[in-house]
Amino acid sequence: MNAPSFSALHLKVACSNCNLRELCLPIGLSLAEVDKLEELVATRKRIKRGDSLFRAGDRFESLYAVRLGFLKSTVVSADGREQVTGFHMAGELVGMDGISNEQHSCDTVALEDTEVCVIPYDRIEEVATSVPALRSHFHKVMSREIVREHGVMLLLGSMHAEERLAAFLLNLSQRFEARGYSRSEFVLRMTRAEIGSFLGLKLETVSRALSRFATDGLIEVNQKHVRIVDPEGLRAIMTGQGSQSEPR
Amino acid sequence: MNAPSFSALHLKVACSNCNLRELCLPIGLSLAEVDKLEELVATRKRIKRGDSLFRAGDRFESLYAVRLGFLKSTVVSADGREQVTGFHMAGELVGMDGISNEQHSCDTVALEDTEVCVIPYDRIEEVATSVPALRSHFHKVMSREIVREHGVMLLLGSMHAEERLAAFLLNLSQRFEARGYSRSEFVLRMTRAEIGSFLGLKLETVSRALSRFATDGLIEVNQKHVRIVDPEGLRAIMTGQGSQSEPR
DNA sequence: CGTTTCGTTGAAGAGTGTCAAGGCCAGTGG
DNA sequence: CCACTGGCCTTGACACTCTTCAACGAAACG
């Protein structure tokens, strides 16, 4: 390590001082419990844009809490098809896919320079014995991931291209807002192809839908920069009410 | 209850005697640990075909281990679109969606007369403190659900109709086999529309694909009864190698 | 036995994918 | 500093898969 004292400092103030704690932690933990939690976080890790945090097949050892940055997770089928299963931003926990097999089943790659807290899984299991509130919170986080994926299945299984993209933009918007960023203006960290993979569409379809939204005055797009002009309009599209000029 | 003594008997022999234990339980539990586990299971519950085990919005209180029967889970979007998120058979655990919010987010409905073990969630939390092996197993079960859903996302996001259906049939086949039933001959408990909803297709497309598989000699279909004649052929279709007469 | 639900099949049309060409932008090396 | 390169994005034309609509047959149910 280049700067051990820097790392140590970081370790000391982890969690209790972290501006992500409302996202990571259960509310109402006692100070003693937060202390316990801080023992969890072994180290920080930086991942440069394009590098992977872990890959399918890697031995599972830790979960990771995103501190800063942006990642994607992808699964690859036997015949080589790739599917983006999610995008992850600050405050989110990644790596839970690895628990079942003691081995990761997806790749997780940084889409911009990223920093994560490394949480060794055996420590989580230890703390799960002694701090019920943390264990219970951990269960909720896993359950929330299951519910999130139900939502993605609904999107992939029953929505049209523009509906999917509207839902995607609104979801991003809401997540940025929850982190204190603008809900109406943000930068897409991923390519059109990656959005397409996540939404079950081709990149051209994503591009066309974005262009259509722009000409309809719902958003402004400039490459990766997006401004949401008419969130209600997007919501209408998402729920299948987009441009029904003729009610029969 | 009509037959309390019968219920009590069932309670007594639960788990340690259950022929699903390889599916439900972690291997290598001590007898004392299995005892602990049996305390978990409060009651059995029977759900008649068409009735629901729980509905979206219901207060979350318990997980359910399917003992016998067949269920589907569905989510409904704000605008009324319905998506089947999974089918559940003996040995599988359902209800984990409810943990995150203390409230269920999907409907789970019996597709045939079904019997489940009711496992009150607060008991799980208790036992999670005292029996690490069970807690760890529970985490793996949740993680496995996350991984399963990744697989569904891959299917919905990147596969064609016949590829999806082939994958679906092979998945069912493999699950039946794991439960000691025939892997080549089984009854579909769900309608074409339900298969379609799960696979992101219309019922007509499901019907056509099944017919095509039948005329190609891959399967035999008679209404809900399916016989898999050529599993390798299905696997080839699933991986996108279906009927490539002309290799360029 | 009538009624309803479920399944099959055909024909036509909509929505996406595919292929191709060209533009924009950042990074690189001359 | 500028030209070049390669990745990313946009747009058009066309092909193809899947959906939609419709009619009918078969099985399940009361």
CATH number at residue A112: 2.60.120.10
* Chain A residues with CB-CB distance to B57 below 8 A: none
Within a domain: B246: no
Q: Which two tokens stand for residue A33?
A: 């419990």
The closest of A109, A112, A107, A137 to A124, measured between CA atoms, is A137
Note the pLDDT tens digit of each residue in B147-201. Answer: 999 999 999 999 999 999 999 999 999 999 998 999 999 999 999 999 999 999 9
Within a domain: B106: yes
pLDDT (0 to 100) of residue A43: 85
The Å distance, CA of A93 to C1' of C6, is 44
Residues B176, B228 share a domain: yes
| pLDDT tens for the 248 residues of chain B, in order | 343 334 444 444 456 667 566 556 666 667 777 777 777 676 889 999 999 999 999 999 999 999 899 999 999 999 999 999 999 999 899 999 999 999 999 999 999 999 999 999 998 898 889 888 889 989 999 999 999 999 999 999 999 999 999 999 999 999 999 989 999 999 999 999 999 999 999 999 999 999 999 999 999 999 999 999 999 999 999 998 876 443 33
Contact at CB, B157 and A198, closer than 8 angstroms: yes
Within a domain: A145: no
Instruction: Give yes or no for a contact between A223 and A210, defined as CB atoms under 8 angstroms apart.
Output: no
pTM metric for this prediction: 0.91
State how far residue A239 is from chain B, nearest Cα, in angstroms.
6
Residues A172, A101 share a domain: no
Residues A173, A127 share a domain: no
Residues A36, A68 share a domain: yes
Residues B119, B204 share a domain: no
* Chain A residues with CB-CB distance to B101 below 8 A: 147
Tell me if residue A78 falls in helix, strand or coil.
coil
Within a domain: B150: no
Residues A117, A11 share a domain: yes
Range of the domain at A43: 6-136
The closest of A201, A205, A227 to A214, measured between CA atoms, is A227
Within a domain: A110: yes
What is the number of alpha carbons within 13 Å of residue B106 lying toward its C-beta? 29
Residues B129, B14 share a domain: yes
Q: Range with the lowest mean pLDDT among A33-47, A147-161, A174-188, B168-182?
A: A33-47
Mean pLDDT score of chain A:
88
Residues B124, B80 share a domain: yes
Residues A32, A103 share a domain: yes
Instruction: Give yes or no for a contact between A179 and A220, defined as CB atoms under 8 angstroms apart.
Output: no
- H or E element that contains B21: helix B21-24
Strand D neighbours among B 157-216, CB < 7 A: 160-162, 200-202, 204-205, 208
Query: Which residue is the nearest neighbor of D26, CA to C1'?
Result: B223
CATH of the domain at A187: 1.10.10.10
- Strand D atom within 7 Å of A193 CB: yes
Give residue A208's Cα distance to chain centre: 25
Within a domain: A153: no
Q: Range with the lowest mean pLDDT among A14-18, A169-173, A244-248, B67-71?
A: A244-248
Task: Count up the domains in chain A and report the number.
Answer: 2
Long-range contacts of range A119-124, CB-CB < 8 Å, 24 or more positions apart? Answer: A119/A40, A119/A41, A119/A42, A119/A62, A119/A63, A119/A64, A119/A65, A120/A40, A120/A42, A120/A61, A120/A62, A121/A60, A121/A61, A121/A62, A121/A63, A123/A39, A123/A40, A123/A42, A124/A40, A124/A63
pLDDT (0 to 100) of residue A131: 85
| Residue entry with tokens 């089947």 | B84
Residues A191, A73 share a domain: no
pLDDT (0 to 100) of residue B157: 98
Q: Which of B136, B167, B201 is the last residue before a domain boundary?
A: B136
pLDDT (0 to 100) of residue B134: 85
Give residue B4's Cα distance to chain centre: 29
Contact at CB, B197 and A149, closer than 8 angstroms: no
Within a domain: A244: no
Q: Which residues of chain B from 62 to 91 reach within 8 Å of chain A, CB to CB?
A: 75, 77-79, 81-85
Residue A80: pLDDT band with limits 50, 70, 90 = very high
pLDDT (0 to 100) of residue A8: 41
Instruction: Give yes or no for a contact between A89 and A70, defined as CB atoms under 8 angstroms apart.
Output: yes
| Residue entry with tokens 């230890």 | A126
- Strand C atom within 7 Å of A45 CB: no
Residues B209, B107 share a domain: no
Within a domain: B69: yes
As a whole number, mean pLDDT of residues A97-105 equals: 97
Interface A-B, measured as beta-carbon pairs within 8 A, has a size of 152
Residues B120, B41 share a domain: yes
The Å distance, CA of B246 to C1' of C23, is 37
DSSP conformational letter for A103? B
